[in-house]
Amino acid sequence: MPRTLPEPSVDSFDLTVVLSALADPGRRTLMRALYEAVEPIDCAILVARVDLGLSNPTISHHYRVLREAGLTRTVADGRKRVVRVRREDMECRFPGLLQAILGTSERDEGQGKVAEERV
């Protein structure tokens, strides 16, 4: 039977903890991949797509830090772990934060255009 792993309530989100969780490049890469995914995704499938070059215990640690910061929700079903970003909860508590940190595609495209215009 699937169960949701422990996570903080929206009221207990701490901006310092959230930003600290996102400060690590590996966690930020995982979060960006989760943020871009439309549906919840199996942890193992996501890691295979992203290829962080980290050990399994380190990757598990990164997932736990993201969950304990309130950034993700993890549902365990046997050995399978399905993860999704808590977009609505984050947006409610810290409006625009995830888009500012993880929604880089538009920003990167804009910087590329500026660089092309300078040449």
CATH number, domain with residue 68:
1.10.10.10
Domain hosting residue 96, numbered range: 3-118
Condensed to tens digits (0 to 9), the pLDDT of residues 71-93 reads 999 999 999 999 999 999 999 99
Q: How confident is the model at residue 104 (pLDDT cuts 50, 70, 90)?
A: low
Q: Which has more confidence, 112 or 83? A: 83
HSE, CB side, 13 Å, CA atoms: give it for residue 13.
22
51: pLDDT strictly greater than 70: yes
Tell me how many domains the chain contains. 1
- Say what the pTM is: 0.83
Mean per-residue pLDDT, 38-47: 89
